[in-house]
Amino acid sequence: MAGAGERLILAFDFGTRRIGVAVGNELLASASALDPLPARDGIPDWNVVTRLVEEWRPDLFVVGLPLNMDGSESEMSLRARKFGKRLYGRYGKPCEMVDERGSTFEAKAIAREAGHRGNYREEGVDGLAAQLILEGWFASNEGLPSRRE
């Protein structure tokens, strides 16, 4: 396991059809989007998740918590928490839940600025949303500026 500030982190943007994934290095406070995981009613192929964990060997998981705009929890919040608990249970790595309000909206805006035409069902912004969640986590834990500011 890496020392404090040197951790490798896998972040997830939970969804019922796709789960966005990003990987980041805490020391560099940088994150990169990975291919999203297909999911069936919020359940990924755990063999694919295991391959990601074996490839990246993360020290920590970060999972976006989809709160309502007033900060209250929703059904999706409960499902994202369950996903985070399953990550911890399967891989024995700590999992932190992070307020993700606005990450998908921001990811779509960034994709539009980059020239995507808005066909998000096919192009997807899930990995970018996971990247934004992780960058926000870095900023809140290190006092570093994030893209959202």
CATH of the domain at 68: 3.30.420.140
- Residue 26's φ and ψ, nearest 5 degrees, are -65, -40
Residue 1 located in a structural domain: no
Q: Is residue 148 part of a domain?
A: no
The pLDDT, as a whole number, for residue 65 is: 93
Q: Does residue 86 register a pLDDT over 80?
A: yes
Q: Is residue 66 scored above 50 in pLDDT?
A: yes
In a domain, 3, yes or no: no
Tell me, yes or no, whether 147 lies in a domain: no
Range of the domain at 54: 8-142
* Both structure tokens of 124: 């997807």
Kindly state whether residue 29 falls inside one of the protein's structural domains: yes
Domain membership flag for residue 2? no
**Helical packing angle, 126-142 and 103-113, nearest 10°:** 120
Check residue 67 and give its pLDDT. Answer: 87
**pLDDT-based confidence at 128, cuts 50/70/90?**
confident
- Specify the pLDDT at position 5: 61
Range of lowest pLDDT (41-50, 90-99, 131-140): 131-140
Question: Total structural domains in the chain?
Answer: 1
